[in-house]
Amino acid sequence: MALKFVGGKSGAVAGSTSSTPNTVALNSGLTGGFATSVASGDLIIVQVGVGHQARTPAPVVRAVDDTAYSVVGTAQNVTTDTQDIYSDLRYRFHDGTSNDDSVEIGNSGDAADGLAYAIHVWRGVDTGTPLDGVTPTAATGTDTGRPNPPSITPGSLGSVIIIAGAGGAATGANFVTGELQNLHTVNSPDTNDATVGLASYHWAGTSAFDPAAWTGGSTNANNSWAAKCLVLRAATADAPIIRSLARGFGTTTITVTKPSGTTDGDLLVGFVRADGGLPGTPSGFATGPSSTTPAICDVRWISKTAASEGADYTFTITGNGDAVLLRITGADTSSPFEADSQAATGVSSTRTNDGISLTDADSLAILFTDGGNAYTGTDNAFGLIPGTGDGFTDLFGRYPGATGETGATSIAMSSTTWDTYMVGILSAPAAVSTVAQRSMTGAGL
């Protein structure tokens, strides 16, 4: 199963010395995802923050049966400014009993210290290596209450990065994150405020992701902040995951090497573009969606089940062109995508597409855009697939969500004429038989 955001919630608790914890229901009231309730096997992530002044808060985070949640690294307690912050990030898989239908969160330990929490619930996390085998990263700072999360490099494609932050202030405010998804944030107003935020980022690369510093919150020089990043690994048995890719450029012919790690049974999906007619299809590949009417080039999606017949593939083209081959596991190898393709022309201030409707909730949506200038923006819905960000072939990929719907998306690019296309890759056998695909062309900024 692909990683899916079930939903989340956040809350504020006034400062208290009570030993009775605060019980937060997870079997109702989740928002922002595809469901309102946690289920057996879901991963629960809890971020807690306490605003204070030179104290050592330590509120518990535990299941109803008093089983403590696992801590991510160690709790952070920044005590080098006036408005200090305690931050603790924890996680636990729902054990299938009512013990995990709620989470118990302790109090701040002082009547003046506000406590805030934010919760995420995720489905499809690998139970054996939930944090992707990657050591979580952490950062702290003073002179502002706005977190600046550290960079992190996931270990496997299809991963989701979780970004957690907390800030201490005399007068706090909710955080704002422009490039991230699924933000749950809240400020707990008290003598010493605490603001927390918990967000995610669908990662489709092989290099480090360095989140931008958050806005909102408070920028007072007496404040402090703490942040962490961790990686969730997808349980990959029945979801398409991009494992590697290879590229080629040429005139008349394009040669592309077999993507690294390819083994028999993997799905190879190619996107080929040329400026003088539809590209040819190498032996063994099936033709997928194609278009002969875009503004920039003629395009063709192709696919095949990987076998041991050689190390290179040759594409015949007219004019100039390039090709990308994606090695994908967990996909339907017999009928990977919808066979129809549409193209249109238009003028817009950004590169856009009109969305895609997938009948399989575990499908992988891939967005292609080209136009001669590299991707320069940050996009909430899609992550740039590594090795494609040169403007000629930019590929973005993500899982659309539990309903199988992903809406219209805008991609920030430099000024140029451009094309965009979107296609869905079906998950392996249990899934449905068809998926809708659309494309759009126009003139950029």
Task: Say yes or no to pLDDT of 433 above 50.
Answer: no
Q: Which of 69-73, 103-107, 234-238 has the lowest mean pLDDT?
A: 234-238
Show Cβ contacts of residue 135 under 8 Å, excluding neighbours closer than 6 positions.
Answer: none
Mean pLDDT in residue range 193-204: 89
**Confidence category of residue 404, pLDDT binned at 50, 70, 90:** very low
What does pLDDT average to over the chain?
A: 80
**Confidence category of residue 439, pLDDT binned at 50, 70, 90:** very low
| Residue 248: per-residue pLDDT | 85
What is the pTM assigned to this prediction?
0.72
**Confidence category of residue 91, pLDDT binned at 50, 70, 90:** very high
Closest Cα to residue 91, out of 130, 44, 127? Answer: 44
**Confidence category of residue 445, pLDDT binned at 50, 70, 90:** very low
Decide: 365 and 240 in contact? Cβ < 8 Å: no
Task: Say yes or no to pLDDT of 431 above 70.
Answer: no
Q: Which of 252-266, 304-318, 418-432 has the lowest mean pLDDT?
A: 418-432
pLDDT tens digit string along 288-345? 766 554 545 566 767 788 777 678 888 888 888 788 888 888 888 888 875 434 444 4
| Residue 181: per-residue pLDDT | 84
**Is 400 or 245 the better-scoring residue by pLDDT?**
245
Q: Which of 14-28, 264-278, 383-397 has the lowest mean pLDDT?
A: 383-397
For the chain, give the secondary structure using H, E and C.
CCCEEEEEEEEEECCCCCCCCEEEECCCCCECCCCCCCCCCCEEEEEEEEEECCCCCCCCEECCCCCECEECCCCEEECCCCCEEEEEEEEEECCCCHHHCEEEECCCCCCCECEEEEEEEEECECCCCCCCCCCCEEEEEECCCCCCCCCECCCCCCCEEEEEEEEEECCCCCEECCCCEEEEEEEECCCEEEEEEEEEEECCCCCCECCCCCEECCCCCCCEEEEEEEEECECCCCCCEEEEEEEEEEEEEEEEECCCCCCCCCEEEEEEEECCCCCCCCCCCEEEEEECCCCCCEEEEEEEECCCCCCEEEEEEEEEEEEEEEEEECECCCCCCCCCCCCCCCECCCEEECCEEECCCCCEEEEEEECCCCECCCCCCCEECCCCCCCCCEEEEECCCCCCEECCEEECECCCEEEEEEEEECECCCCCCCECCCEEEEECC
Instruction: Tell me how far apart the alpha carbons of residues 314 and 317 are, in angstroms, rounded to a whole number.
Output: 10
**Is 328 or 168 the better-scoring residue by pLDDT?**
168
Share of the chain above pLDDT 70, in %: 72
* Alpha-carbon 353 to chain mean position: 19
Task: Say yes or no to pLDDT of 370 above 70.
Answer: no
Q: Which of 90-99, 135-144, 291-300, 365-374 has the lowest mean pLDDT?
A: 291-300
Tell me the CB-side half-sphere exposure of residue 364, using CA atoms within 13 A.
36
Mean pLDDT in residue range 256-264: 85
Instruction: Tell me how far apart the alpha carbons of residues 84 and 98 are, in angstroms, rounded to a whole number.
Output: 36
Give phi and psi for 99, each to the nearest 5: -60, -30
Task: Say yes or no to pLDDT of 222 above 70.
Answer: yes
